[in-house]
């Protein structure tokens, strides 16, 4: 087996093992939550007999390890279970919301990733100059502000004062594309600002680290222009850490949308999770948590594989 195939196989195997361990943590965490699921469903006026019957119907009297393997077996066959409150299949309810979250994250990433790389290259080209300081100042400001604060600021100015964009991001199946883009403009902007600064700073740091190499000094002595040195020599050799930070931020765009979706009442995975946490709907919480974990681990595996392919030193470790 070649070194690159062995490394990729190790990353995938480690990711699967990690996801299995995370599934145990998710299941255990939902089991130790305070309160009674049956009580939450039937209400405070439920009789002890009704509560006991519902617990038996839901299988809550079975040992925890049996309930875990029953749940895991369903997940492996594509059955995420049934919501306790609505009695609807979680898979059918979750897929449209997953699509909404992925669409929102994709729109934010389409703007944030190329813009972050361009700003990082500009900051390196004009390092320690006015442009570099302005970009770094913007990045620090954007990183310091939490997403809920940025979200409320945008709602106040663009939805309340100027009334250019809707403050509530309502989308539905079959919605025209332009209307959907208008509806998600504010939450997508918040996500873009949140991840843009981190990606830009890491891109700048990775390229500056490469710029200290001996072959960069050789290129400078040959009289190559600074922008050519960055484009042809520095950036290609800094691509591995840049790919890693981009993938990590893409994972955040999908996993970390909970606050943004709640602010804008966006019908995505985050809003779905918050709604059912308040109802103590354990199967929904488990399903959403596992999907978030799978996305995060999967994107990290992709980042590792891309770094292996891009970096010869990782393909041929000593």
Which residues contact residue 302 at a Cβ distance below 8 angstroms, ignoring those fewer than 6 apart? 247
Region of poorest pLDDT, from 26-40, 101-115, 181-195: 26-40
pLDDT higher than threshold 80 for residue 210: no
Residue 218 within any structural domain of the chain: yes
Q: Is residue 265 part of a domain?
A: yes
- Does the pLDDT value for residue 100 go beyond 70? yes
Quote the number of domains for the chain.
1
Q: Is residue 80 part of a domain?
A: no
What average pLDDT score do residues 24-28 get?
A: 87
For the stretch 110-154, pLDDT in tens is 888 888 888 888 888 788 788 888 888 887 787 778 888 888 888
CA distances from residue 123 to 23, 105, 149, 202, 285 in whole angstroms, order as listed: 42, 26, 27, 11, 42
Are 207 and 238 within 8 A, CB to CB? Answer: yes
1 within a domain of the structure (yes/no) = no
3-state secondary structure 133-183: HHHHHHHHHHHHCCHHHHHHHHHHHHHHHCCCCCCCCCCCCCCCHHHHHHH
Q: Does residue 318 lie within any of the structural domains? A: no
Q: Assess contact for 26 and 290: CB atoms under 8 A.
A: yes
In a domain, 23, yes or no: no
What pLDDT digit, counting tens, does each position of 49-95 carry? 776 776 776 666 677 788 888 888 888 888 887 787 777 788 888 88
- Domain with 148 in it: 99-278
**Tens digit of each residue's pLDDT (9 = 90 or more) over 221-248:** 777 777 777 767 677 777 777 777 787 7
Residue 47 in domain: no
Q: What is the CATH number of the domain that holds 219?
A: 1.10.3720.10
**CB distance 187 to 260 below 8 Å:** yes
């Amino acid at each position: 087996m070649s070194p690159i195939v062995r490394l990729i196989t190790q990353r995938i195997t480690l990711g699967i093992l990690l996801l299995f361990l995370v599934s145990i943590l998710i299941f255990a965490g939902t089991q130790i939550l305070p309160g009674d699921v049956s009580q939450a469903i039937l209400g405070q006026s439920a009789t002890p007999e009704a509560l006991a019957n519902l617990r038996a119907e839901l299988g809550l009297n079975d040992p925890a390890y049996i309930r875990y393997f029953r749940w895991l077996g369903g997940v492996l066959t594509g059955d995420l279970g049934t919501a306790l409150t609505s009695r609807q299949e979680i898979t059918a309810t979750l897929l449209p919301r997953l699509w909404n979250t992925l669409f929102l994250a994709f729109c934010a990433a389409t703007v944030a990733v190329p813009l972050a790389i361009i700003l990082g290259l500009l900051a390196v080209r004009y390092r320690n100059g006015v442009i570099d300081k302005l970009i770094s100042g913007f990045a620090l400001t954007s990183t310091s502000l939490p997403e809920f604060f940025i979200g409320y600021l945008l709602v106040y100015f663009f939805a309340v004062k100027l009334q250019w964009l809707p403050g509530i991001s309502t989308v539905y199946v079959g919605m025209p594309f332009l209307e959907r883009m208008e509806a998600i403009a504010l939450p997508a902007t918040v996500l873009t600002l949140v991840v843009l600064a981190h990606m830009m700073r890491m891109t700048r740091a990775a390229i500056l680290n490469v710029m200290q190499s001996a072959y960069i000094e050789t290129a400078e002595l040959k009289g190559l222009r600074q922008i050519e040195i960055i484009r042809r020599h520095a950036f290609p050799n800094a691509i591995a850490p840049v790919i890693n930070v981009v993938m990590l931020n893409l994972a955040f765009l999908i996993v970390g949308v909970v606050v943004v979706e709640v602010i804008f009442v966006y019908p995505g995975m985050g809003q779905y999770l918050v709604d059912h946490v308040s109802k103590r709907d354990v199967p929904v919480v488990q399903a959403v948590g596992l999907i978030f974990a799978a996305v995060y681990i999967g994107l990290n595996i992709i980042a590792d594989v891309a770094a292996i392919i891009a970096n010869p030193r990782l393909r041929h470790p000593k």
